[in-house]
Amino acid sequence: MNWRAPLAFLAAGLLLWLLPWLRERLDFPVFYLIFLYFIFFWIAQASSWNMLSGYSGYFSFGQGAFYGVGVYTTATLVDKLGVSFLASLPVAGIIAALLGLGVGFAVFRLRKLRGELFALLTLAVALVVAAVVRNLDIIDGGYGVPLGQVPYPAFLGDYSAMLYRLGMIVALLTVFVAYAIQHSRLGHGLFAIRDDEAVAEGLGVPTFRYKMTILAISCFFAGLSGGLHALQINYVAVESVFNIRVALFVILMSILGGRRHWLGPVLGAIIIYTLSDRFSSVQLEFLNQIIIGSLLIVMILFVREGIYSRLQRRLWFALGLFALVLLVQVFGGIGARLISQVAVAMLALIAVLLVPEALYQKLFGWVGRHAKV
């Protein structure tokens, strides 16, 4: 890794930091900040899941548990113990990481471990944690935790700007760590574990230590992002926090985007959240489920590497079409909101990327040949 990557992430962070300020000047709706906060939330969650499950191949169904532990750590610290909100965030990450280490210690020490066992155990942990939280009065006890007006430092801006900015920082941090891991010794070791764990161990990869390390890092970011999300939820309740939604969505996003590359879950999170937000805004949630469900089936059967690697190979054609569809809508006055127009353009982009390789070469091969960089 060179110095350019951290600088690029830092520059992106600074630019994004200025957006709420720009919004006040240009007077576009607050809705966009909230929307972007949710994008950042899902990017952080999906990247956190992917650095464990995508890189190492151990499928986790317990993202919801680690996220939920983060939510409740912040809720408990802020509401019951009077800890400041910002200080509670790293604690939320650490508590989630400790839970992850506990799970890992139980399951990774078995010599004959298979992935199914890990998947089942993480699913079970989510159920157990929910039951514990529901029944412990000190945490929730079944009443829910209202967070109401939580004080925060003034430099973060108004409430939605604050959520947006913190969400952006957490997302960028998570993605940067995912990027750094992919290019590090740890990442190469994890990829080897994913392909063949026994061989990896035989070539000198300390498999137990690496699995524990990545589990802790992954859970830390799940908890950190969850802790921040507690403020967005505002009224924290067991049923809304510990449902299967988070665990399923992060898997969906990573499978759609691609699990071999740090950008895969980022891409998946942006696309899936945008689409489901748009569909539910026009009361078409059932259609959303059908589309996302069938997309998942197509991805698993035909595009196992995810759309990111296809996007790399069809970059100019796909981006060109995306821009074209977007511009036609904007200038043609089709659709009410920019986000809806973006969502439609995204569908066009996905359609291009789903075209099988052979057919694509036959139809559009000339694009690649002419626009080769």
Partner 1 sequence: MLKCENITKKFGGLWALAGVDLSVAEGEIVGLVGPNGSGKSTLINVISGHYAPNAGRITFRGGDITARQPHQITRLGIARTYQIPRPFQTMTAFENVAVACMFGRSREAVADAQQNALHWLEVTGLGACANFPLEKLNLHQRRFLELARALACGAELLLLDEVLAGLNPTEIELSMAMIRGINERGVSILIVEHIMRAVVSLSHRIVVLDQGEVIAEGVSQQVMRDPAVISAYLGKDYARDH
What residues form DSSP beta bridges with 236? 145
Region from 127-135, 147-155, 162-170, 186-194 binding partner 1, contact rule CB under 8 A: 186-194
Other beta carbons less than 10 A from residue 309's beta carbon: 17
Q: How far apart are CA 115 and CA 103, in angstroms?
A: 14
Contact pick of 12, 98, 260, 354 for partner 1 (by CB under 8 A)? 260
How near is the Cβ of 43 to partner 1 at its closest, in Å?
Answer: 24
Residue 364 interacts with partner 1 (CB under 8 A)?
no
How near is the Cβ of 141 to partner 1 at its closest, in Å?
Answer: 44
Which residue number, 183 or 362, has a Cβ lying nearer to partner 1? 183
Complete DSSP assignment for 55-76: HH----S-HHHHHHHHHHHHHI
- CB distance 255 to 59 below 8 Å: no
- CB distance 20 to 33 below 8 Å: yes
Residue 190 interacts with partner 1 (CB under 8 A)?
no
Within 13 A of 160's CA, how many CA atoms are on the CB side? 14
- From 362, 328, 370, select the one nearest 348 (Cα to Cα): 328
Q: How far apart are CA 278 and CA 218, in angstroms?
A: 29
Contact pick of 24, 158, 196, 357 for partner 1 (by CB under 8 A)? 196
How near is the Cβ of 367 to partner 1 at its closest, in Å?
Answer: 24
Contacts with partner 1 by CB under 8 A: the residue count is: 22
| Alpha-helical regions (H) of 136-262 | 159-182, 185-195, 197-202, 207-233, 238-241, 245-257
Residue 245 interacts with partner 1 (CB under 8 A)?
no
Contact pick of 188, 212, 309, 368 for partner 1 (by CB under 8 A)? 188
Residue 195 interacts with partner 1 (CB under 8 A)?
yes
Residue 115 interacts with partner 1 (CB under 8 A)?
no
Binding flags for partner 1, 154-183, as an x/- string (CB under 8 A): -----------------------------x
Contacting positions for partner 1 (CB under 8 A): 183-185, 188-189, 191-192, 194-196, 198-208, 260
